[in-house]
Amino acid sequence: MSGTLELKALENLIARVALGDRSAFSSLYDATAPKLLGVCLRVLKQRSVAEDALQDAYVKIWKGADRYVSNGLSPMTWLITIARNCAIDRLRASRRDVGSEIDTVTETLAASGPSPEQSAIAGSEARRITSCLDELEATRGEAIRGAYLKGESYSDLAAKFDVPLNTMRTWLRRGLISLRECMER
């Protein structure tokens, strides 16, 4: 996690944002927006669209900060996940009308999840995804990276690797299962 701020400081800022503290929100933006824009730019190549997605993300962050404590994610994970979701929303909205479906994903993420203690346990397991992705068959690793960093869907991936959609699904699911096994070793 390459946050500009320490974990505690970020948590503190988010807690103040949850109380409606605009200056804390401003500081949170200054500290994290460059990283989040970097993430948006991986999904959306066009700068202006990525900046729009970044706006969406901070609107969601302001509105969802009061539910942050209950979602069990570390602060940068929460922020990056929101930014990535907003970027994928923009990406997919530009292709077809996905409407409310996508919104629900972000909302569900914010509304449910383990307690902070549970998440601390999950975090301390320190599953090393990068080395495990490298252990996978190269194309599977690449597909998972593409799905996460570029927001690629099954049909994008099927087209990219030139395989039928269902083959892509089976393939990627197997990849995810191997990945999990590797990370639990």
Partner 1 sequence: MSDPTEKDDESARDSALAAEYALRLLDGDELRMAEARASADPGFAREVAAWHEDLVTLTDPVAPVKPRRATKGAVMTRLFGEASRQGMWSAVGIWRGLALASMTATAGLALLMVSQPGTWLGTGTVERPGTSAPAPLQLAEIASEDGSLRLLAAYVPQTDTVEIRRVAGEARPGRALELWAIAGADAPVSLGLIGEGAQSVTLPAAVARQLAQTPLVLAISDEPAGGSPTGQPTGAVLAAGPVTTL
Q: Site residues (CB under 8 A) for partner 1?
A: 1-2, 19-23, 25-26, 29-30, 33-35, 37-39, 41-42, 51, 54-55, 58-59, 62, 71-74, 76-77, 80-81, 84-85, 88, 101-102, 104-105, 108-109, 111-114, 118-119, 122-123, 125, 127, 129-130, 144-145, 147-149, 151, 153-154, 172-173, 176-177, 179-181, 183
What is the smallest separation between the CB atom of 77 and partner 1, expressed in angstroms?
A: 5
What is the smallest separation between the CB atom of 183 and partner 1, expressed in angstroms?
A: 7
Q: Judging by beta carbons within 10 Å of its beta carbon (0-12, 13-18, 19+), is residue 100 exposed, middle or buried?
A: exposed
What is the smallest separation between the CB atom of 129 and partner 1, expressed in angstroms?
A: 5
Tokens describing residue 53: 């997605």
Taking the C-alpha atoms of residue 23 and residue 6, their distance in angstroms, rounded to an integer, is: 18
Nearer to partner 1, 8 or 100 (CB): 100
What is the smallest separation between the CB atom of 35 and partner 1, expressed in angstroms?
A: 5
Nearer to partner 1, 6 or 181 (CB): 181
What is the smallest separation between the CB atom of 128 and partner 1, expressed in angstroms?
A: 8
Please work out, in degrees rounded to the nearest 5, the angle formed at the alpha carbon of residue 142 by the alpha carbons of 139 and 146: 135
Nearer to partner 1, 14 or 73 (CB): 73
What is the smallest separation between the CB atom of 167 and partner 1, expressed in angstroms?
A: 14
